[in-house]
Amino acid sequence: VILAEPGCTGRINRVQTIGVFGGTGQQGRGLAARLSAAGQRVVLGSRDAARAVAVAERLGRGVRGADNAQCAREADVVIVAVPWAGHQELLTALRPELVGVIVVNCVNPLGFDDRGAYGLSVPEGSACEQAARLLPDSVVVGAFHHVSAELLLDASQSTVDIDVFVVGDDRAATDQVQALADSIPGMRGIYAGRLRTARHIEGLTANLIAINRRYTTRSGLRLTGGQW
């Protein structure tokens, strides 16, 4: 047990269990696979517990499945990897279970039409800020927005060579989420600003989708210029 820094809520610095909401979707499964391979304890959450258990069994490495509420109760950190359409409802329902939990949001509020992907207008400014409004007793951090699910699930790729932008207002929490990203080989967690800047990170996914379409690739981002 690591002692919490002053100002931290109780559950933040213990040995971690990572819950993944939307854990049966592509992004969720991909993150669960990489995090469990990196030695993290992972619980997949889904509305359908049986489905979460079945997907978890296929992932192996001790990954477990549960319904979302049970997943939230077991987790120190949850990753929200659900479609934008279900974001508000899910977090509203799980507010009691998420008290004191670090909520890592990687939801991209995007629309699609015949000209491609585009950022949707969100009343709170971003999915992260909506999560923070819905979960006043949790610590919301944005991260993992730009990770290609296909790349995460591609077992032939031993590393995930991207930088993960981590945004949030709580330094202990952003540090912890950076460390989580760092635990995946090739990946680096980079602090990239306050939660109010999450909107740009989320929206940039529309640009990466355009890049992937034009160049037929699975693009990721790396920062140049620094000692990270």
The nearer residue to its own copies, 38 or 151, going by C-beta atoms, is 151
- Count of chain residues binding its own copies (CB under 8 A): 43
Q: For residue 153, is it left (φ>0), alpha (ψ between -120 and 50) or beta?
A: alpha
Q: Counting contacts by CB under 8 A, is residue 197 touching its own copies?
A: yes
The nearer residue to its own copies, 70 or 207, going by C-beta atoms, is: 207
Sole window of 39-47, 74-82, 95-103, 188-196 interacting with its own copies (rule: CB under 8 A): 188-196
Contacts of 81 (CB under 8 A, 6+ apart): 20, 21, 22, 23, 25, 27, 28, 31, 106, 107, 144
At its nearest, how many Å lie between its own copies and the CB of residue 14? 26
Which strand (E) or helix (H) includes residue 19? strand 17-21
Binding characters for its own copies, 129-168, by CB under 8 A (x = yes): -------------------x--x---------xx--x-x-
Contact string 164-183 vs its own copies (x = CB under 8 A): -x-x----------------
Cβ at position 196, least distance to its own copies in Å: 5
- Residues 28/22, Cβ–Cβ less than 8 Å: yes
Phi, psi (degrees; rounded to nearest 5) at 37: -65, -25
Stretch that binds its own copies, among 10-18, 50-58, 83-91, 194-202 (CB under 8 A): 194-202
Q: Mind giving me the DSSP string for 88-146?
A: HHHHHHHTGGGTT-EEEE----EEEETTEEEEPP-TTSSHHHHHHHH-TTSEEEE--TT
Q: Nearest distance from residue 112's CB to its own copies, in Å? A: 12
Is 14 a residue that touches its own copies (CB under 8 A)? Answer: no
How far apart (Å, rounded) are the C-alpha atoms in residues 169 and 145? 17
Amino acid at 50: A
- Answer for which of 9, 26, 88, 207 binds its own copies (CB under 8 A) is 207
Q: Minimum distance from CB of 136 to its own copies (Å)?
A: 19
Token couple for 62: 């001790």
Binding mask 74-103 for its own copies (x = CB under 8 A): ------------------------------
Rounded Cα gap, residues 68 and 54, in angstroms: 15
Does 47 help bind its own copies (rule: CB under 8 A)?
A: no
Q: Is the dihedral of CA 51, 55, 57, 58 positive or negative?
A: positive
Binding site for its own copies (CB under 8 A): 115-119, 148, 151, 161-162, 165, 167, 190-194, 196-197, 199-201, 203-204, 206-211, 214-215, 217-228
